[in-house]
Amino acid sequence: MPGKRTTNAMIALRMLMEKYREGQKEFVDLEKAYDRVPRVELWHCMRKSGVVEKYVRIMQDMYEDSAAAVRCAVGMTDRFKAKVGLHQGSTLSPFLFAVVMDRLTDEIRLESPWTKMFADDIMICRESTEQAEVSLERWRYALERRGMIVSRSKTEYMCVNEREGGGGTHWREGEC
């Protein structure tokens, strides 16, 4: 900021941090997030993120004709085609998942600037319970229309209020 000292920016940032420390926070978990990534969405998101077409095609080749088997108490199942999801244990999978999540949530993140994402966990920060509930529904809609599923049983709600009514932190689990 021309003509301003860095301390002015630091004070403004501190004020924003204090304002958003309190409020409603929802911790959203996605069910089997890596397993549910639609491959068509993966290719689309890679292209939209500016990944060179050559690399998109390499990923498509890597995922084409992929198969899996399940180990259980009585042995292994027959192999079956895996048409959805990211490869488990691949070092590329976290990157690919981040690309998909970044693109799928592009618009919705603009509405909630204090939202944080790490892997398949999302924290939505809002000032009021009503805003938090609206944001959660918008996130749920944005993700579920693209094949992801919000785990209602693992989604938790936290209210932090240090100034009013004695303050404290309150948790509400599940069905937020």
Instruction: Give dist(CA 155, CA 148) in Å, integer.
Output: 14
| Residue % of the chain over a pLDDT of 90 | 13
Instruction: Give dist(CA 110, CA 112) in Å, integer.
Output: 6
**Is the per-residue pLDDT at 108 higher than 90?**
no
**Is the per-residue pLDDT at 72 higher than 60?**
yes
Q: Is the pTM of this model over 0.95?
A: no
First to last CA, the chain: 41
Around 41, how many Cα atoms within 13 Å sit in the side-chain half-sphere?
25
**Is the per-residue pLDDT at 2 higher than 70?**
no
Statement: 22-173 belongs to CATH 3.30.70.270: yes
